[in-house]
Chains A and B, each alone.
Chain A
């Protein structure tokens, strides 16, 4: 497999850690604004504050899966390992976030709907989405050959995205207990600012986490390549 890493190492993206600090501070501020400044909602009371973590986590997960799709297409087109590594990094972060969104929705659903879980269309399609992308990560873990893993993963990464618009549109297409998508157009104006702030907070956090995970993937990939080079050269190596 050809390498896209030059020389003896991997360049550290200089923006990553300063951006991480800014993202963390913005996240703390946005969460504090959502928790402390938003008034109780007429029906839900303070439970509406859970939406400032549940909804942005779901949005961020969908963006992560969009990154998986784009990087997978780029890999099949250009056959560069960096696109495969980016897709895998985004998938891992996306699985974490969509798993979190499901758990947070469940915590909100118990006092609001009276149940932790129900097999209605939005929840079911989201659970299927979680399983598909978890399967994508499992496929990567069980395939040793790097090029084959990248090719198969790219194919799964593209097909998996078919479910994403179905998840998004489920409350409009079917009768569901879940309310329609929470957007500035469907949310009470009193809660739009906090929702927007937290949407950007999760977007920044998502960017940092994918960037960090991608950097780790590049370091580990570079190490494997170095080990292969040493093995072919018959040299000893200290690891």
Chain B
């Protein structure tokens, strides 16, 4: 396989992992803010 195949595989993996993790964190933060509001607390 060509050099570019491995380069694309590496960058594709890195960007996918970082993007998915960041999106999951942002969603988890939104859920945590909502859950805290449910306890009469909140994010200020």
Q: Which A residues are within 8 Å of any B CB, using their own CB?
A: 7-12, 31, 35, 44-47, 49-50, 53-54, 57, 96, 100, 103-104, 107-108, 110-111, 205, 209, 212-213, 215-216, 219-220, 222-223, 226-227, 230, 237-239
| Residues of B contacting A: mostly | helix
- Which of A104, A212, A230 has a CB less than 8 Å from the CB of B26? A212
Please, which residues of chain B bring their CB within 8 A of the CB of A205? 18
Q: How many A-B residue pairs have CB under 8 A?
A: 102
Closest to B22 in A: A209
Chain A at the B interface: SS class: helix
Question: In the complex the two chains form, what is the Cα distance from A44 to B29 in whole Å?
Answer: 42
Given A50-B6, A53-B11, A107-B9, CB of A9 within 8 Å of CB of B38: no
CB pair B38 A238 closer than 8 Å = yes
A226–B41 touching, CB < 8 Å? yes
| CB–CB B6/A107 < 8 A | yes
Set of chain B residues within 8 Å of A111, measured between Cβ atoms: 1, 3, 6
User: Nearest Cβ distance between residue A212 and chain B, in whole angstroms?
Assistant: 5
Q: Which residues of A sit under 8 angstroms from B32, Cβ to Cβ? A: 216, 219-220, 223
Interface positions, chain B 12-44, Cβ under 8 Å from A, are: 13-15, 17-18, 21-22, 25-26, 28-29, 32-33, 35-36, 38-44
Contact A103 B13 (CB under 8 A): yes
Q: How far is the CA of A111 from the CA of B2 in the complex (A)?
A: 9
A54→B11 CA distance, assembly (Å): 9
Instruction: Name A108's contact: one of B1, B10, B28 (CB within 8 Å).
Output: B10
- Per a CB cutoff under 8 Å, which of A108, A226, A230, A238 touches B36? A226
